[in-house]
Chain A
């Protein structure tokens, strides 16, 4: 099996791009990533996308995205895993290069959220849960998180403010990232004052949907031109759980997160102490909390003691959301998993500016779909 390197990254700023189409976004990300990688000829393009069929009435993105990006004729298909679609596409790209079958894969995550608004967006987005038995009861993506946070608060007697560490860390780190939708710091007072959107979740506990696209270029050693800039993928692991939260013996146990984290660490031959940063799924904030616990970074029911802002800040024991995370970026479902990887690569290259983690060498990224029905973990290292 050959090693897999990320030779180039590209991203467009997350936001409400009323004037841009799905392919305006994907093309910009793909071309900038290819340029950074020295314009290799791609063998395959994997596209992470969740909602184009529902929100843009557009399927068959393999042909569309390749053609628009100037890659007509190249193999291209969509990979879908709810909000973790981008990370799932990266996994497919990893398998293709790792197997030795191909030497260059473009992975692009793209989502166009603002072609519809309001209740239609909520209806589409809850498709990452169980439509017949969750969606049909009027739940939303954030509503499912509300059920879990309410239970967590009751079962573990956790203080309500203990979830503040996730959005505070994300927003403070997003200040210096021009690709994040929100570049404004947040403090505990601001967190406490926010209106409730989905009891007990308030505004800072839930993501904001937005448009965006991010891409990475995977190459084998054969095509690697600049080893100083390259990052190696040491592990890529997907695990699944029940789709509906109510089907789980313990709804507060994110089993998919536990399994994919353990498998990824084992494949990379690393322990949790080796990680210099963790781009976790930081919003809804309860998902950040349950991810830390399931991933073994905190004891069950004790995550709220670990998740203090000082522990998760850039200088903390386990930095998260180092360039704004999903909370400050805005949630671009099909692309979130790739934005996480782009941020991790930026750190490992030492190019994170004011947000640089000192001598960062190992990063873990983790995308989850729905309430962690799927969890996709990647471990990246300096090459």
Chain B
């Protein structure tokens, strides 16, 4: 069930909260204890805008347990406008052809279902093409 683990990550998953380093001002996602840029202690929360572009992508047919209901699906590396790259599924793509450089924005979606009807439903970020 791993409830504590998913509870611990809810701000990151649901609100894209990472950190800004108080020493060198690097934007960090996911949050870490040590800034990867300057080695200083990182602890100041920072909410990312959720805007970015596709850095790369792949479509999966053979998927891990808990992800079957959405297969096949596309997972992307998304470069956020603040700098960091994150890994996320793309959603609401429709007939659009996914391309590197495509502008995308964060939405909240169900990302995994644990086993039977008593299993946890886990929600978190996915990214969709920017409308319009």
Taking beta carbons and an 8 Å cutoff, which residues of A are in contact with B? 119-120, 122-123, 126, 132-140, 142-143, 146-151, 154, 197-201, 242, 244-247, 251
Residues of B within 8 A of A120 (CB): 65
Per CB-CB distance, the 3 closest pairs between chain A and chain B, nearest first, are A146-B58, A151-B56, A123-B64
Are B62 and A251 in contact (CB-based, < 8 A)? no
In angstroms, how far is the closest chain A Cβ from the Cβ of B101? 9
Q: Determine the chain B residues whose CB is within 8 A of the CB of A247 once the complex forms.
A: 36, 85
- Kindly provide the distance from the CB of B107 to the nearest chain A CB, expressed in whole angstroms: 14
Contacts of A154 in B (CB 8 A): 56, 100
Chain B's interface size range is 20 to 34
CB atoms of B111 and A136 under 8 A apart: yes
Residue of A133, A149, A201 ringed by the most chain B CB atoms within 10 A: A133
Given contacts A132-B9, A137-B111, A154-B100, contact A147 B124 (CB under 8 A): no
In the bound complex, how far is the Cα of B75 from the Cα of A134, in angstroms? 10
Whether B60 lies near A123 (C-beta < 8 A) is no
- Flag if A151 contacts B112 (CB, 8 Å): no
Residues of the B chain whose Cβ atoms lie less than 8 Å from the Cβ of A134: 87
**A245 to B77, Cβ gap below 8 A?**
yes
**Complex contact B124–A136 (CB within 8 A):** yes
Query: With A122-B62, A122-B64, A247-B36 known to touch, is A138 a contact of B89 (CB < 8 Å)?
Result: yes
A-contacting residues, B91-113, CB 8 Å: 100, 111-112
| B contact residues around A123 at 8 Å (CB) | 64-66
Contacts of B5 in A (CB 8 A): 132
- Complex: chain A residue closest to B122, CB-CB: A136
Give Cα distance in the complex from A87 to B99, angstroms. Answer: 38
Q: Does B68 have its Cβ within 8 Å of any Cβ on chain A?
A: yes
Could you list 17 further interchain pairs (A-B, Cβ under 8 angstroms) beyond the known A137-B88, A146-B59, A147-B58? Answer: A123-B64, A132-B5, A137-B87, A138-B67, A138-B89, A140-B63, A143-B75, A148-B56, A150-B56, A151-B55, A151-B100, A154-B100, A198-B58, A198-B61, A199-B58, A246-B85, A247-B85
**B75→A147 contact, CB < 8 A:** yes
Q: Determine how close the nearest CB of chain B comes to the CB of A245; give it in whole angstroms.
A: 7
Q: For A151, what are the chain B residues with a Cβ–Cβ distance below 8 Å?
A: 55-56, 77, 100
Distance to closest chain A CB from B127 (angstroms): 10
Q: List 19 A-B contacts (CB under 8 A).
A: A119-B63, A119-B66, A119-B68, A120-B65, A122-B63, A132-B9, A133-B30, A140-B63, A140-B64, A149-B58, A151-B55, A197-B61, A197-B62, A198-B58, A198-B61, A244-B87, A246-B77, A247-B85, A251-B56
The reply to whether B65 and A119 form a contact with Cβ atoms under 8 Å apart is: yes
Residues 46-61 of chain B: 1 if any A CB is under 8 Å from the residue's CB, otherwise 0?
A: 0000000001111111
Nearest residue (CB) in A for B8 is: A132
Among A133, A137, A198, A199, the one with the most B-chain Cβ atoms within 10 Å of its Cβ is: A137
The answer, yes or no, to whether B86 is at the interface (CB within 8 Å) is yes
Q: Is the CB of B77 within 8 A of A139?
A: no
Docked complex Cα distance between A201 and B75 (Å)? 14
The answer on a CB contact under 8 Å between B111 and A138 is: yes
Residue in A136, A198, A200, A246 whose CB lies within 8 Å of B62: A198
